[in-house]
Structure formats: C-alpha cells, structure tokens
Amino acid sequence: MKESKESYDKTNKDQDSEETKEKIKSDKDSDKTIEDDTDNEESEKPIKWIKGKLIGQGSFGKVYYGMNTENNQIMAVKQVDIKNKKMVDSLNAEINLLKDLRHENIVHYYEYGDTFNVFLEYVSGGSVASMLSRFGKFTEPLIKSLTSQILSGLEYLHNRSIIHRDIKGANILVDEDGVAKISDFGISKKNEYEKAYKFNSRMSGFKGTVYWMAPEVVKGKGYSAKVDIWSVGCCVLEMFTGTHPWTGFSEAQPVIYKLCTMNKPAIPDSIGAIAKDFIDSSLSINPDKRPTASELLTHKFVVEQDEDFDFHDYYAEALKKEEEDEKAATEENEFEENEFEDEEYEDVDEYDEFEDDEEVDDYFEDEEVEDYFDESNFDDENENNFENSEIKKDNESNDDQTLNESENTLNNNNVLIET
C-alpha cells in the first residue's frame, strides 16, 4: 500500500484544546520504525518490524503480515490510508476501544504509531468467512464451539457498553487451536449510557454490513447492543449454510427492503430444532425480545457442546478433503482436455478404411449428390421454388447491371459539368 507523504495537522484547535497534531510520513516497506504517541511506558521504545504480504482488509485500511525484528514476534499490522479528518477520528476511536480490551476472544492490540500503523495480534487460521470459502459449511459441533466463544467476547464488550456493529464471518478470526477472536473495531461505538442494551435514539448511523444488519439499524431511529445479537444469529446461519444469511439475494437493495418491512432471513429446514430455536430468538424482529449475550450463553445450543469434538482433527480432515478435491478437479480437467483432443480427430478416423485419396473423393462426391437430390426432400414444389430462385437471381443481376449503367451516365455528366 502506498503511504501518504504529506503531514496531517488537526484543525479546529479552539473546539478541542486536547487534540494533538498527528503526522503521517512514509516508511520503507522492508524496515519501519514507529514511536507510540500514547502514555504507555512499555511502548516508548520504537518498534522495528518487517512488512510481509497483504492478509486482509478492514474498515479504512489494509492488514499486512509483520514481524518484530527484535523479538521475532509475528503481528498483524493494520495500515490506514488517511484521506480526511473523518478517517482519523475513526482510527482514533478504534484505538481507544482496543487499547483497554483484554479478553481471549478479542483480538489483542499491541501498539499504535504516528505513521497510522496499528499493531495487532496475528491470528493464523484466518477468518470464519475464509474457512467457509475453503472448506464449505461447518459441522454443528464446530458451529457450537465458535458461537460460544463469539458470545463470550460480545458479553465482555457489552459489559463495557461497547457495540461492535459489524459482527460477521469476515470479522471473526480463528487461530490454529480453534479459538475465535472478534476483530475489526473500525465502526464500533460505545453507548453513551452505562448499559449497552439500553435504547439510544442518538445511535442512528447506518453502520455495518447489510446481510448481517438488524432492522432497527436500517430504520435509522436509534438502537442498542441488541443489533450485535441479531448479527450473531446471522453469523450462525452463515456457518450452517456456507453463505450470507439472505440466501437468494445477490444484491443489498432487496435485503434492505426486506429489513424495512420487518422481515428476517429464512432458516433452512435442514438445521436442527435446538439450533433453529437459537437462531430464531436471536433474529427476533423486536429488539426488546432478543436475548442478551449472557442469556444466549445459557441456551441449550451453546451449553451442550460436543465433548468428542477436536478442532485439530477437524482442521486436518478439512485440509485433506481440500487436497483431494483439488486433485480430483485437476484430473477432471485433464480428462476433458484429452476428450476434446479425441473428438477433434474423430472425423479423420472415420475414413481410415479408405486405401487411397481417389476412394475418398468418390465417397464425398456420392454423398454430396445423395444429400442434394434426396427424393424424399425434393418434390415438384421444391423444384418450382428452385427455378423461381434462379429467375430471381437473373433479375437481380439485370437490375445491378442497369444500376451500374445509370451510375456511369451520371459520372459522365458530372465530368462534363466540371469541364
């Protein structure tokens, strides 16, 4: 990502005397030094790190693989391309939320530098969305395990009056041990009230991703942390089906209409009764009837975990199946290519029985005559049509000749006039 080389000085000092100037400067991709502008004593020492490949995108920024050169710590580095004050405010809001959060199911924040790089915990397994794309829909034991962890992280956030506002598969990371972590707090917001579930009329921004968005967000008349509960229900549907919750809708506009008219996504019949009850309660149209994260953690779907489930076994089996599918796809492509080559020479093989070119010529000559003068398709009417067609062609030829003569005459006259 090309970083800005301009300095960004905050304006409107009279409105907020506590604002400090933020500077954006470019750094070499291979080795970057950042100084933390916070008061954290542990972060006073500059961090030297190496930038790796792009691993994802979040709100207002891209995430790169990084390594701390001093301790070889692997990190995820979120770089924000600052374009306006709104983006600065959004980044600062995300940092202010992240820096104090310490929970197993929340992505850990390391540090923030004045080059607008945010250093985060690296989660190796990828996101729920990327796993669904690779391995297909999840098994119920895995869904139960991940749902329980997502709710645990949300309970922690909601107890601190923080509303995530964009819970979805792409924002749930999973590490190599199957531990789920909520990420991307770019549009998260703290409720002004002490209780996150208290309705706030001033919380009216159209924030989130439509397919996982609650009806009250679309209506724009205020909401509470119950919007995250709706998104959890959608996320569970996503894991069961392998796609976004509004299956059959490829564009957001019809979904927005459905939400405005107080509808919710359909729950497939293939989902079990307990899981269906969990999803249905999470997707209650009336937010007051939706349970809290703490209440959902007591639901039978979450409480009754499969004791025999092992994430490592699941992941190894999924990787094995992925490899087999890729191998099968490669073999199928090779087979189709070979079949196409055989079809290409099929007509040639049909005439291999002829001993010389003369026999082949005789064969095709007879076929042409037979096809053209087949008595079953050549009656008196067709013969008349054929004759009429020939006459028509003669007339057209005569018309063309007349037209040419007229053009010649006209040209000659033009020459005489010009002369």
Domain identity same for 202 and 303: yes
Domain identity same for 151 and 101: no
In a domain, 113, yes or no: yes
**Which of 291, 313, 335 is a domain's end point?**
313
In a domain, 337, yes or no: no
CATH code, 282: 1.10.510.10
Residue 216, pLDDT score: 96
**Which of 68, 96, 121 is a domain's end point?**
121
Supply the pTM of this predicted model.
0.68
Domain identity same for 108 and 211: no
Q: How far apart are CA 285 and CA 209, in angstroms?
A: 17
**What are the pLDDT tens digits along the chain (419 aa)?**
434 433 333 333 343 334 333 433 333 343 343 333 334 444 456 678 899 999 887 656 788 999 988 888 899 988 877 776 777 777 777 788 888 899 999 999 887 655 578 888 999 889 999 999 999 999 999 999 999 999 999 999 999 999 999 999 999 999 999 999 999 888 899 888 778 999 998 887 788 999 999 999 999 999 999 999 999 999 999 999 999 999 989 999 999 999 999 999 999 999 999 999 999 999 999 999 999 999 999 999 999 999 999 999 999 999 999 999 888 888 877 777 776 665 555 554 544 454 555 554 555 455 444 444 444 444 555 555 545 555 455 555 555 555 455 455 444 444 333 33
Domain identity same for 226 and 302: yes
In a domain, 392, yes or no: no
In a domain, 49, yes or no: yes
Residue 9, pLDDT score: 39
In a domain, 347, yes or no: no
- Name the maximum alpha-carbon separation found in the chain: 106
Residue 414, pLDDT score: 43
Q: Which two tokens stand for residue 252?
A: 């957001």
By annotation, the residues acting in catalysis are 166
Residue 395, pLDDT score: 53
Domain identity same for 66 and 171: no
Residue 181, pLDDT score: 97
In a domain, 223, yes or no: yes
Number of structural domains found in the chain? 2
What is the SS3 assignment for the chain? CCCCCCCECCCCCCCCCCCCCECCCCCCCCCEEECECCCCHHHCCCEEEEEEEEEEEECCEEEEEEEECCCCCEEEEEEECCCCHHHHHHHHHHHHHHCCCCCCCECCEEEEECCCEEEEECCCCCEHHHHHHHHCCCCHHHHHHHHHHHHHHHHHHHHCCEECCCCCHHHEEECCCCCEEECCCCCCEECCCCCCCCCECCCCCCCCCHHHCCHHHHHCCCECCHHHHHHHHHHHHHHHHCCCCCCCCCCHHHHHHHHHCCCCCCCCCCCCHHHHHHHHHHCCCCHHHCCCHHHHCCCHHHHCCCCCCCHHHHHHHHHHHHHHHHHHHHHHHHHHHHHHHHHHCHHHHHCCCCCCHHHHHHHHHHHHHHHHCCHHHCCHHHHHHHHHHHHHHHHHHHHHHHHHHHHHHHHHHHHHHHC
In a domain, 137, yes or no: yes
Domain identity same for 220 and 243: yes
Domain identity same for 110 and 134: no
CATH code, 101: 3.30.200.20
Alpha carbon 181 to its chain's center? 19
Q: Which two tokens stand for residue 231?
A: 């998104």
Domain identity same for 261 and 154: yes
Domain identity same for 205 and 290: yes
Residue 236, pLDDT score: 98
In a domain, 395, yes or no: no
Answer whether 235's CB lies under 8 Å from 169's CB. yes
Identify the domain containing residue 44 by its residue range.
Answer: 32-121
Domain identity same for 164 and 272: yes
Domain identity same for 90 and 183: no
195 is annotated as contributing to ligand binding: no
**Which of 75, 91, 121 is a domain's end point?**
121
Residue 323, pLDDT score: 92
Residue 8, pLDDT score: 33
Domain identity same for 65 and 133: no
